[in-house]
Amino acid sequence: MVWFTEYWTENIGLTIRAKEIKRIKSKYQEILVLDTYEFGKVLVLDGLIQTTEKDEFMYHELLVHPALVSHPNPQKILIIGGGDGGSVKEALKHKHIQEVHLCEIDEEVIITAEKYFPQISSKLKDPRVKIFIEDGNKFLEERESQNHYDVIIIDSSDPISESKVLFQEQFYQKAKNALKENGILVAQTESPILQEEYFKNAVKNIKKVFNHTQVYIGSVPSYPSGTWSYTIASDHIDFTKINPPPDRFEDLNTKYFSDKLYSCLFNIPEFIKKLISEV
Ligand code: SPD
């Protein structure tokens, strides 16, 4: 019997019993693959759970679909991070998508996902997907002035070590420069309950860069507190005023996201509105 604990803060954590733990050391981090009783296989980077077979859909569907249905015609997508392939899998459910660029710093994450998480990584070899093994921040610097993408999805790990820069104002500015005029950025922005400062900092920096910003939340049981936030932003799309046509929600084959969920997505709890008002 093996137990794994992710320490959410110094006072609280999540402990999972595993049948087996595999350890892989990459150039950037320690990668663990846990074979657990409750969550199925679990991918852990430097001690932090990134994805689990049981609840990956809850996170990836909510990160990806709101932005893709909000955009009138998303064709070219960039995903930064997300080497497990979960966001690619969800993005390719939209029939307009012609090209997905995935920029992941650590090739070993992709190799591990393909070996141990075949369902989550199932679309990484799709011909519409081009993989770049690069630092996301540097990748954007090279494409900054190209008005290249319709939607940019920041599927990062937490704002520590290599990922810290992916939560800073300068990074969001580079992302905006790489978007087409009516482009949309969406980012995972941490737990508003246990990671209040990370959350507020990310929202504050996104708000500085874009005219329209909305926070929404969802449940991800394996992430700190189980309540997770996402921030969607654009210069030209006011998310509170648009009403995507019903066909944009068809054939997505989702288990969490739906047209009904989307229609009330931005009605977030009062205590989270208060946190946002403080940034
Ligand atoms: N605390 C973990 C947050 C991780 C968010 N991103 C995970 C990447 C999965 N595709």
DSSP characters over 211-242: SEEEEEEEE-TTSTTSEEEEEEEESS--TTT-
Domain range enclosing 17? 2-52
C-beta of residue 87 within 8 angstroms of C-beta of residue 154: no
First to last CA, the chain: 45
We report the CATH number of the domain holding residue 133 as 3.40.50.150
Please work out whether the CB of residue 135 comes within 6 Å of at least one atom of ligand 1.
no
**Residue from 103, 108, 101, 89 nearest 46 by CA:** 108
What is the pLDDT at residue 142? 86
Q: Is residue 110 domain-shared with residue 229, that is, in the same domain?
A: yes
The two three-digit tokens of residue 88, written as one number? 């690619």
Index of the ligand 1 atom closest to the CA of residue 190: 3
Q: Are residues 47 and 135 in the same domain?
A: no
Residues 60 and 131 in one domain: yes
Contacts of 272 (CB under 8 A, 6+ apart): 192, 215, 217, 229
Q: Is 158 in the pocket of ligand 1 (CB under 6 A)?
A: yes
Clarify whether residues 170 and 183 are in a common domain.
yes
Ligand 1 atom at minimal distance to the Cα of residue 82? 10
pLDDT of residue 92: 98
Q: How far is the CA of 222 from the centre of ligand 1 (A)?
A: 10
Q: How far is ligand 1, taken at its centre, from the CA of residue 96, in Å?
A: 26
**Same domain membership, residue 189 and residue 147:** yes
Low-confidence ranges of the chain (pLDDT < 70): 145
- Residue 159: CB within 6 Å of ligand 1? no
Tell me, yes or no, if the pTM score tops 0.75: yes
Closest CA to 259 of 5, 36, 53, 70: 70
Query: Looking at residue 170, what is its pLDDT?
Result: 97
Distance 188 CA to ligand 1 centre (A): 8
pLDDT score recorded for residue 234: 98
> Which is nearest to 149 in space by CA: 232, 87, 252, 78?
78
Other Cβ atoms less than 10 A from the Cβ of 133: the count is 15
Listed residue (206, 105, 190, 222) closest to 152, CA to CA: 206
Identify which of 204, 202, 176 has the alpha carbon closest to the alpha carbon of residue 190: 202
Our answer on whether the CB atom of 262 is closer than 6 Å to any ligand 1 atom is: no
Residue 198 CB–ligand 1 contact under 6 Å:
no
Residue closest via CA to ligand 1's atom 7 equals 50
For ligand 1, whether the C-beta of 225 sits within 6 Å is: no
Domain containing residue 10: CATH number: 2.30.140.10
**Claim to verify: residue 135 and residue 271 sit in the same structural domain:** yes
Distance (angstroms) between ligand 1 centre and the Cα of 219 equals 13
The token pair that represents 249 in the structure block: 């929600």
Does 247 lie in the same domain as 219? Answer: yes
Q: What is the DSSP letter of 122?
A: T
Domain limit, last residue, from 34, 52, 70: 52
Same domain, 164 and 37: no
C-alpha of residue 169 to centroid of ligand 1, in Å: 20
Residue 242 tokens read as 């648009």
Dist CA 220 CA 218 (whole Å):
7
My answer on whether 149 and 271 are in the same domain is yes
Check residue 66 and give its pLDDT: 98
Which residues belong to the active site? 155
Write down the pLDDT at residue 145. Answer: 66
> Does 129 lie in the same domain as 21?
no
Strands 48-52 and 227-234: unpaired
170: how many CB neighbours lie within 10 A of its CB? Answer: 13
Look at the chain and report how many structural domains it folds into: 2
Q: Which of 18, 35, 52 is the last residue of a domain?
A: 52
106 and 211 share one domain = yes
113 with 82, same domain: the answer is yes
- How many Cα atoms within 13 Å fall on the side-chain side of residue 139? 22
Nearest-10 Cα torsion for 6, 12, 82, 189: -170
